[in-house]
Each structure stands twice: as structure tokens, then as C-alpha cells.
Amino acid sequence: MALKQISSNRCFGGLQKVFEHDSVELKCKMRFAVYLPPQAESGKCPALYWLSGLTCTEQNFISKSGFQQAASEHGLVVIAPDTSPRGCNIKGEDDSWDFGTGAGFYVNATEDPWKTNYRMYSYVTEELPQLINANFPVDPQRMSIFGHSMGGHGALICALKNPGKYKSVSAFAPICNPVLCPWGKKAFSGYLGPDQSKWKAYDATSLVTSYSGSQIDILIDQGKDDEFLSNGQLLPDNFIAACTEKKIPVVFRLQEGYDHSYYFIATFITDHIRHHAKYLNA
């Protein structure tokens, strides 16, 4: 699969790059960012995947979170894909900010007209890792995942649906129970259809209740002043209750005074990189 380099910038001794490729799953051109730490020049490094939230591209995380310093220190290759297919000329794809373009919700759509292109779940869990493993100095056996908001939802479901695939998982302000929140109901009814029993396959809280895989430690940071927490979009309490019942360890940190923005992410990103490095470099 041919990769076209879009940009490359030296950063904390490593290189922050952006590439474009033709996606088989999504049937369109896709961009992703990859940070190569200095350690990647002399050997294979673990891979850490970041999934962004609504309206984002690959640019938001690499330009706003400041993750590169910690990734350089711990020798992690960090990959950040886009949040949806782009330019597919599907009627309605650009009509709203929380559905369609920039809002793929990390599911494989089953409904027309979305099912041909909107296959972000398979892109993130299969196509992209295969592409990264084939083209960059990463160890395919050492892989973890994290994300923010819609991407936090994505990270949680990818880890829970694939026991053992990811060494660790974490999230910032994830959409924990999308089958019950307005964002999730809108996205799932559009991508997956009216049968709500099918939605549960992409709902972290539902997935926890049936999880029987290998031990996984989950770290979640949530801003206490997050407007989407107070208006019922995120529902972390439901997820924590399900984890407690299943005895799945989750560290949930409610951060006083913080909102839903990248200022919040930048404040705690180093803690998350360390969380993953503990498992990836073990």
C-alpha cells in the first residue's frame, strides 16, 4: 500500500509525520499522523494509537496535546488517524457536526448509504495497524490504544471487543454508554439502523457486562466542569458500575475545574503516556 508523506517535523528528537493513503476499508483517501521517537531509528518500538473526538482530523491531537515529549522519553510510536472517511459524496455527510464527516464513531456501518465507506472500526483495528506494521519500525505484539470523547468511546470498544490485542487502554472524557445518550442515539440509528440490540456491540458499558477476556487495566480522566458530562452525553457512572460488577479494574479520576477541551488533555497526557508505557515497555 503506497504511502504519500504530507509533512515531517523534528520534535523532541523524533519526527512528527503525516501520511496519506488510499484506504481499502473506507474507499477514500485517508490521512494519519505518526510520531517516531528517537528510539525508532535503532529498533522496533511499541505502537500507541490515539482516536480523536467529534469534528477532529489527525491534526488536533498532534498540534494541541503536547504528547510528543513523553512519547519521545518512553520510546513510543504514536499513531493518530482521522475520525471518518472524507469526500465520499454521500448525501447528508456534511449536514451536521455530530454525524457523517468528522463523526465516524468507530463503528462499521450496516445501513445505506453509509455502509460502503463508514467502516472506521475495521480501519482502526485492522487496516491501519497492518499498514503501520508494514511501513514503520513497530513491534506488532506491543500495541495500546487511547482517545478522547468519541475517540475515548472508540478506544474502549476496540480494547473490549479484542481481548489481548491491546496491552492497555485509557480515555479522556469518553462517551461511555452511547446507546443511552443523544450523540450515540443519533449516530447509531443512522449507521446501524433502528434495532437497538445491534447498538450494544459498540457500547463500552454493554461490552463490559459480557467481557470475559484477559485482564485489562483502564484509566479514565474526566473534567468535572465538562458541559457534556453535566448534559448526559458521557455517562461514566454507568461504565464504572459495570466495571465494578465485573471486577474489571478502572482508575477514574474526576479532575476539578477541567472542561472537555485540549487544555484538559494536555494537562494529563503525560500520565496517560506513562500508563501505556508501563505495559508496553514491560
Catalytic residues: 149, 226, 260
Residues 6 or more apart from 227 whose CB is under 8 A from it? Answer: 259, 260
Give the DSSP H or E segment for 165: none
Give the angle 61-99-146 at the CA atoms, nearest 5°.
30
Residues 6 or more apart from 140 whose CB is under 8 A from it? Answer: 47, 129, 133
The bridge status of strand 169-172 relative to strand 138-148 is parallel
The bridge status of strand 45-51 relative to strand 77-81 is parallel
- Given a contact cutoff of 8 angstroms between Cβ atoms, the answer to whether 76 and 44 are in contact is no
Residue 194 neighbours by CB distance under 10 Å:
9
- Given a contact cutoff of 8 angstroms between Cβ atoms, the answer to whether 241 and 227 are in contact is no
CA distance 277 to 46: 9
Distances in Å between the Cα of 154 and the Cα atoms of 16, 32, 135, 160, 162 are: 23, 16, 24, 10, 12
CA distance 257 to 156: 24
Which stretches within the chain are classed as H helix?
Answer: 59-64, 68-74, 120-122, 128-135, 150-161, 182-192, 196-199, 204-209, 227-230, 236-246, 262-280
